[in-house]
Amino acid sequence: MDATSQEEIIQIYHDRIFHFSQELAVNKKRSLHYSLMRLATIIIAIPFIYLATKFGLLAVIASLIIVIIIFVFAVLRQQQYDKKTIENQLLIAINENEIQSILQLKNDYYNGEQFKESHHFYTDDLDIFGNNSIFGLINRSKTFNGTHQLATYFLELPEINSVEERQLAIQELESKLDWRQNFSSSLFNIEGGHQRDLAKEIDEELKIDLSFAKGKFLTIFIKALPYLWMVIFGLYFFDIALANTIAGALFIANLLITMRKSSEVTAVQAHLSYASNMLKSYSEALKIIFSENWNSKLIQQKSEFYKSPDNSNGTVSMLKILSGIIDHLDYRLNFIPAIILNGLFLWDFRVINRLSNWKSIYDGQLIKLFDFIGTMESLNSLASWSYNNPQYVYTKFHEVYFSLEATEIQHPLIPKPINVANNFNIKKSNHLSIITGSNMSGKSTLLRTLGINTILAYTGGRVAAKSFSIPIVQLISYMRIKDILEESVSTFKAELNRIDMILKMLKSGTKCFILIDEMLRGTNSVDKLTGSIGIAKRLLAENTYAMIATHDIKLAELSSEYPESIANYFFDIDYADGDLIFDFKVKEGICKNFNASFLLKQLGIDMP
């Protein structure tokens, strides 16, 4: 079904929840069925085998085989339905989260708090990371690589070609709802994955010296062990006492050899055992990626590279092999299996040698592969966002510095009832767009709306507009300036630092788009106006482009001195029945109505 509205999208999610809930009930019932079958098999086995003893040894053996086959069959089938049950539960949770993200603008995934930086060009002013942020709403990544890759899309300026390639990849993923949710479910249970660079951790841990498990004699002995046991087994047909003696001696010798290097093996096992379950999730995610045929260049090239059997002896299997090695190493945590396996086959040394061989084949490949999975997660996040918002549009990029065209643009983090759309254009000749208006009329929101959608455009995802076109430029905001007590920085000094940063960027020749909300708030009104006019003139001299929200009409009147370079806009207010009425619609010109006096009178403060 091709959805054309958010209402249809929400209905699709409800339908999927209903479908997966039905499957969940069936799979739980079948799992219980095979669990009871296991229990019944154990209960019936004893009298069944007892009856078989009356018919001889062959009957007993046959009975044992039948019991084992039925029991194993029941175990495997129960595991199969338990796995399906978990998948159903995850898919239900994923669809519930999607509905929540649309209706309540809330998301259960990580919000990117760690990427917040007060001195960044724009992230703090535009709510890019943290609580109630655009990253927090869009993110569907569970891994370190996916979370950081998505954050990079919000932080770094792309080339036009690369962001357009990303758009095509996102559009392809947007059309693959089943694939996206299956991919998400494969990684959904990873806890705290955004905090742990698992590939780097494993890579560092594998730098541990594994040569203790090698050596010419030890290598030959390990390879010869299965043949030695075969000889001993054959000896039982000729001399049981001698066979027992040799078997006991070999078993004890193997245990002594194992004990000599037990601490080294324990160190390796301790370093890696935590990673096994996560590796299985990564491995499952890879299977899902490679099961799909891709058309977009960005995904296709990377997918084909890692999928190719010619790529470093089959890179696609590296996670499965490593996970299996770690699982086998963890056998030593169970005392009885550890004694038996090491006594018979020097199990610890065999596993360590397999790990050493894995290192020699796949050295340096793990980080690259995890980066690929992270890229798919980040694209999947943006595709989910785009799918959830079919009313939004993909950005058209151009080379002109500077022009911006936005039709019915909205702030993506403001709920619908109070989220008013505006049309706004910046022509190449209009270097400064000055917005005046009363308090709470929408000046700051317009700046943030254009800013957050610009950054959203650079990620490659849909923007909250009916149409949007913009070049790739460095966005800089000067909005939420505040004092920093721990750095002994006053509000005014923080503003000066911001202005200095902007001027340095302009001196470097960087093409910028600057958003300024009520500059120089930290000083007196006279210096504020004089300084604001000075800054505006400096911006004009630098041939940059900026939007300035202000209460100062004198600043807006600067357009009479620079009629070709400055465009004025305003937000109006109206009064009805003693209340203020805001339409939050931007208009051309300079504001004439302000509301500070009215609001103060409402609080009982007499105005002169």
Q: State how far the Cα of 453 lies from the Cα of 516, in Å rounded to an integer.
A: 16
Mean pLDDT is highest, among 233-247, 255-269, 410-424, 461-475, for: 461-475
Confidence of residue 216 (pLDDT cuts 50, 70, 90): confident
Half-sphere exposure of 421 (CA within 13 A, CB side): 14
Mean pLDDT is highest, among 315-324, 422-431, 493-502, for: 422-431
Q: The tokens 């340095």 sit on which residue? A: 504
DSSP 8-state assignment for residue 441: S
Residues 6+ apart with CB under 8 A from 143: 187, 190, 193, 194, 198, 282, 370, 373, 374, 377
pLDDT for residue 605 is more than 70: no
pLDDT for residue 312 is more than 50: no
The whole-number average pLDDT for the span 2-7 is 77
Q: What is the pLDDT of residue 359?
A: 82
Q: What is the pLDDT of residue 240?
A: 82
- Least confident span in 196-205, 292-301, 391-400: 196-205
Cα angle, residue 563 at apex, residues 557 and 566 outer, rounded to 5°: 70
For the chain, the residue count is: 608
DSSP 8-state assignment for residue 275: G
Pick from 140, 76, 70: nearest CA to 109: 140
Q: What is the pLDDT of residue 244?
A: 86
The whole-number average pLDDT for the span 506-520 is 92
pLDDT for residue 456 is more than 90: yes
Compare 304 and 244 and report the one with higher pLDDT: 244
Name the H helices within 330-436. Answer: 335-345, 347-362, 365-388
Residues 6+ apart with CB under 8 A from 382: 138, 150, 153, 166, 170, 459, 460, 461
474-478 and 404-409 as β-strands: parallel, antiparallel, unpaired?
unpaired
Question: Residue 575: exposed, middle, or buried by beta-carbon count in 10 A (0-12, 13-18, 19+)?
Answer: exposed
pLDDT for residue 418 is more than 60: yes
- Cβ atoms of 468 and 407 within 8 Å: the answer is yes
Q: Which helix (H) or strand (E) holds 433?
A: strand 432-437
pLDDT for residue 597 is more than 50: no
The pLDDT mean for the chain works out to 87
pLDDT for residue 444 is more than 80: yes
Q: What is the pLDDT of residue 305?
A: 74
Instruction: For residue range 367-382, list pLDDT tens digits in order.
Output: 888 899 999 999 999 9
pLDDT for residue 482 is more than 80: no
Instruction: For residue range 560-593, list pLDDT tens digits in order.
Output: 999 999 999 988 877 666 666 778 899 999 887 6
- Cβ atoms of 387 and 433 within 8 Å: the answer is no
The whole-number average pLDDT for the span 18-41 is 95
Q: What is the pLDDT of residue 603?
A: 47
CA dihedral 72, 73, 77, 83 (to 10 degrees): 30
pLDDT for residue 601 is more than 80: no
DSSP codes joined into one string, 367-379: HHHHHHHHHHHHH
Q: State how far the Cα of 100 lies from the Cα of 9, in Å rounded to an integer.
A: 12
pLDDT for residue 101 is more than 90: yes
> Residue 478: helix, strand or coil by DSSP?
strand
Strands (E) located in 441-590: 467-470, 474-478, 512-517, 545-550, 566-576, 579-588
Residue type, 227: Y
Q: What is the pLDDT of residue 341?
A: 87
pLDDT for residue 604 is more than 90: no
Q: What is the pLDDT of residue 196?
A: 82
Domain boundaries along the sequence of the chain: 1-104, 193-376, 396-602
The whole-number average pLDDT for the span 202-209 is 75
Instruction: For residue range 161-173, list pLDDT tens digits in order.
Output: 999 999 999 999 9
Q: What is the pLDDT of residue 485?
A: 42
DSSP codes joined into one string, 279-300: HHHHHHHHHHHHTS---SHHHH
Question: Residue 201: exposed, middle, or buried by beta-carbon count in 10 A (0-12, 13-18, 19+)?
Answer: middle
Q: What is the pLDDT of residue 197?
A: 84
Question: Residue 42: exposed, middle, or buried by beta-carbon count in 10 A (0-12, 13-18, 19+)?
Answer: exposed
Q: State how far the Cα of 276 lies from the Cα of 331, in Å rounded to an integer.
A: 13
Confidence of residue 155 (pLDDT cuts 50, 70, 90): very high
Strand partners, 489: 484
DSSP codes joined into one string, 169-197: HHHHHHT-HHHHHHHHHHHTT-SSGGG--
The whole-number average pLDDT for the span 127-143 is 96
Instruction: For residue range 230-255, list pLDDT tens digits in order.
Output: 888 888 788 888 888 888 999 999 89
pLDDT for residue 128 is more than 90: yes
Q: What is the CATH number of domain 396-602?
A: 3.40.50.300
Q: Which helix (H) or strand (E) holds 112?
A: none
Half-sphere exposure of 339 (CA within 13 A, CB side): 4
Q: State how far the Cα of 555 lies from the Cα of 516, in Å rounded to an integer.
A: 13
Q: What is the pLDDT of residue 593?
A: 67
pLDDT for residue 313 is more than 50: no
pLDDT for residue 350 is more than 80: yes
Half-sphere exposure of 16 (CA within 13 A, CB side): 24
Q: What is the pLDDT of residue 575?
A: 66
pLDDT for residue 27 is more than 80: yes
The whole-number average pLDDT for the span 479-486 is 62
Confidence of residue 50 (pLDDT cuts 50, 70, 90): confident
Q: What is the pLDDT of residue 480?
A: 82
Q: What is the pLDDT of residue 311?
A: 46
Q: What is the radius of gyration, based on Cα positions, of the chain?
A: 33
The whole-number average pLDDT for the span 509-520 is 92
Q: Return the structure tokens found at 320.
A: 């499965």
3-class SS string, 511-551: CEEEEEECCCCCCCHHHHHHHHHHHHHHHHHCCCEEEEEEC
- Cβ atoms of 365 and 315 within 8 Å: the answer is yes
The whole-number average pLDDT for the span 532-550 is 94
pLDDT for residue 451 is more than 90: yes
432-437 and 566-576 as β-strands: parallel, antiparallel, unpaired?
parallel
Q: State how far the Cα of 516 lies from the Cα of 443, in Å rounded to an integer.
A: 10
pTM value is 0.85
